[in-house]
Amino acid sequence: MKSNLAKIEDKIQASATAVVTNIAETDDAVASAIVGRKTMVHLVINGSFLYRDKSVRTSQSHRRLLARLNATGKRVWSENISVIDNETIKTHYRMIALPDAARVRPLTTSVAQELAISGDLLFTLLGKVKGMRPQTQKIDGRKVQQLCLIPSLTGMDLQRTGDGIYSMRRVLPIEELLEFVHEDLKGQGGISPEDRRVIGSAYDKMLDEVTTEVSVPSGEVQDRNETILGRIVISLQQQADQYRAALAVLHSRSDDPQALNEVLRIAYNFSADVLPLISLFVSICDLKPLVFWCTLLEQWTLHQAFASLPWAALGRKEKLEEYKSIVSQARSHAFHHVLPFDSTVEIDLSTLDVRAEKIRLFVPFGQKEGRGVHLRDQKLAEVLAEFSRAKERPVSQLFWKANHAVMQAACRLSEQVLAALILMHDARREAA
């Protein structure tokens, strides 16, 4: 039976080979450099494929994969994978002839080195989610003295468990809690407006302090779906599935505003939550390059999915923040557009009496109030000027269709980061 260390190497070899083959199929320069020639060509693969923004605060690792290329007929493939240190590269990959042997390390050695310094904090993402911790909140009320959150509570979701004590099994809307307490105390006249205020304030405070317990993995990961990252993967896949279904409806009813709104809603929520997750993965791969090596194919696929979006048609560059901006502005125009104006409204005042009363100059530095020209109806002018509109950024169905590939690639990357962490965790336990 293969060791987990060997499984990691096989995973990296297979992933790198798939990426190298794809690069050779899409980049004629790489294919022509090796096919039919006797010179040895190596391909240095960068440690990140996505454009970085301010959300990524780490710097790329100085260690990068190095593939020695070979060809059978017109098919280019990776003959050997190793690791090269301190190779300057600004593009996604770069061909070199003969690497400096002093900076090249065998893959086996590099994997063992990276595994030895991987640390424990990384594997908290494999922690088992146990559930919400019981929570108690005291209340300074006349008829209610305590609220309790007890996930193990049996029976009804909301119960009176003592004199002036109310317990719930899960987080509930405040309206349901207040209604239950009021009905339960109806024989005592119910609860007063002041009691409602006190209970509501205490409940908000309790919700702010609710904590979900997670146990750090020590032995084998029994159920990957119950880990922190496992639950994230499941949630992302559910969102991608819902998006696919909404997109199918929009395709059949392109003029249906509800179908478009559902696509926009899911796309916006996905971009808002997933982009920080992708930034987290980028930082993890910077600090722990072994994770990047293990997920090289999925990293490349996600880059290609982003690159396949119709950026040129929208005048945008292939950047995560630009992607978020496109989705956000399309969603804002659809969801925050009630007033019937799609462009800026300009009113001709040249025939009206809107005489200026004064102009104020040399006000203290940094003070904006009172500066400039003041009209007779200055306050009314300021109120009218408060009107605004959502930017109009219509996006074609072509973009939303391509966006599904981005969602799928992000899901697949998350799955493989999880698989890589479990494999690394097992390898560490095996070596201990």
Q: Does some domain include residue 185?
A: yes
Span 405-420, mean pLDDT? 96
If residue 422 lies in a helix (H) or strand (E), which one and from where to where?
helix 397-431
Contacts of 300 by beta carbon, 8 Å cutoff, 6+ apart: 19, 22, 49
Asked whether residue 355 is assigned to any structural domain, the reply reads: no
Residues 230 and 205 in one domain: no
Q: Which range has the top average pLDDT, 73-82, 85-94, 317-326?
A: 85-94
284 part of a folded domain: yes
Tell me the backbone φ, ψ of residue 273, rounded to 5 degrees: -95, -35
Q: What is the pLDDT of residue 391?
A: 61
Residues 330, 408, single domain; the answer is yes
Query: Which of 72-81, 268-277, 297-306 shows the lowest per-residue confidence on average (mean pLDDT)?
Result: 72-81
Average pLDDT on 393-401 reads 80
Kind of pairing between the strands at 63-72 and 42-45: antiparallel
Check residues 19 and 329 and name the one with the higher pLDDT.
Answer: 19
- Contact status, residue 104 vs residue 83, Cβ threshold 8 Å: yes
Partners of residue 84 on adjacent β-strands:
64, 104
Same domain flag for 226 and 206: no
Distance CA 315, CA 313 (A): 6
Query: Can you tell me the mean pLDDT for 147-168?
Result: 93
- 149 has which bridge partners? 135, 168
- The pLDDT of 189-207, averaged and rounded, is 91
Q: Does 164 reside within a domain?
A: yes
How many domains does the chain fold into?
3
Q: Which helix (H) or strand (E) holds 83?
A: strand 75-85
Task: Give the mean pLDDT of 8-27.
Answer: 93
Checking if the pLDDT of 19 tops 90, the result is yes
In a domain, 50, yes or no: yes
Helix (H/G/I), strand (E/B), else coil: 89? coil
172 and 303 share a domain?
Answer: no
Q: Which amino acid is at 36?
A: G
- Region 173-187: mean pLDDT is 93
Q: Does residue 160 lie in a domain region?
A: yes
* Residue 59 sits in the same domain as residue 202: no
* Size (the chain), residues: 432
Q: What gap in Å lies between CA 105 and CA 84, rounded to an integer?
A: 6
Q: In this predicted structure, what is the pLDDT of residue 77?
A: 65
Residue that terminates a domain, selected from 153, 177, 210: 210
Phi and psi at residue 316, to the nearest 5°? -115, 160
Backbone φ and ψ for 390, nearest 5 degrees, come out as -70, 140
- On the question of pLDDT at 252 being above 50, the answer is yes
Contact 83, 99 (CB under 8 A): no
The DSSP line for 18-87 is HHHHHHHHH-HHHHHHHTT--S--EEEE-S--SPP-TT--S---SEEEEEEEEEETTEEEEEEEEEEES-
Which stretch of DSSP H or E encloses residue 416?
A: helix 397-431
Say what the pLDDT of residue 360 is: 78
Contact assessment for residue 83 and residue 66, using Cβ atoms and an 8 Å cutoff: yes
Do 50 and 188 have their domain in common? Answer: no
Whether 34 and 182 share a structural domain? no
Q: Does residue 379 lie within any of the structural domains?
A: no
pLDDT digits (tens, 9 = 90+) for 123-153: 999 999 998 999 999 998 888 999 999 999 9
Same domain, 409 and 273: yes
Q: What is the mean pLDDT of the chain?
A: 87
Q: Is the pLDDT of residue 312 over 60?
A: yes
| Gyration radius of the chain's alpha carbons | 30
**Low-confidence winner among 151-165, 179-193, 327-341 (lowest mean pLDDT):** 327-341
377, part of any domain: no
The percent of residues above 70 in pLDDT, for the chain, comes to 92
Strand partners, 255: none
Q: Is the pLDDT of residue 392 over 60?
A: no
DSSP letter, residue 54? T
Contact 34, 47 (CB under 8 A): no
Question: By C-alpha distance, which of 286, 281, 283, 288 is closest to 113?
Answer: 288
Dihedral, CA of residue 274, residue 277, residue 279 and residue 281, to nearest 10: -130
Q: Which pLDDT does position 299 carry in this prediction?
A: 96
pTM > 0.75: yes
Residues 254 and 296 in one domain: yes
Task: Write down the pLDDT at residue 178.
Answer: 93
**Contact by Cβ (8 Å): 202, 147:** yes
Helix (H, G, I), strand (E, B) or coil at 63: strand
Identify which of 332, 269, 275, 310 has the alpha carbon closest to the alpha carbon of residue 399: 310
Co-location of 206 and 224 in the same domain: no
**Domain range enclosing 254:** 218-337+392-431
Q: Taking 70 as the threshold, does the pLDDT of residue 39 lie above it? A: no
Residues 176 and 276 in one domain: no
Give the pLDDT band of residue 74 (cuts 50, 70, 90).
Answer: low
Q: How far apart are CA 183 and CA 249, in angstroms?
A: 44
**In the predicted structure, residue 36 carries a pLDDT above the cut 90:** no
The arithmetic mean of pLDDT across residues 214-230, rounded, is 92
What pLDDT band is residue 336 in, cutting at 50, 70 and 90? very low
What DSSP assignment string belongs to 331-356? HHHHHS--SS-SS------TTS---E
Same domain, 260 and 278: yes
The reported pLDDT for the residue numbered 416 is: 97
Higher pLDDT among residues 335 and 24, named by residue: 24
Q: How many helices (H) and strands (E) does the chain have?
A: 13, 13
Q: What's residue 317's pLDDT?
A: 63
Q: In this model, does residue 412 exceed pLDDT 90?
A: yes
Distance in angstroms (rounded) separating the CA atoms of residues 326 and 331: 9
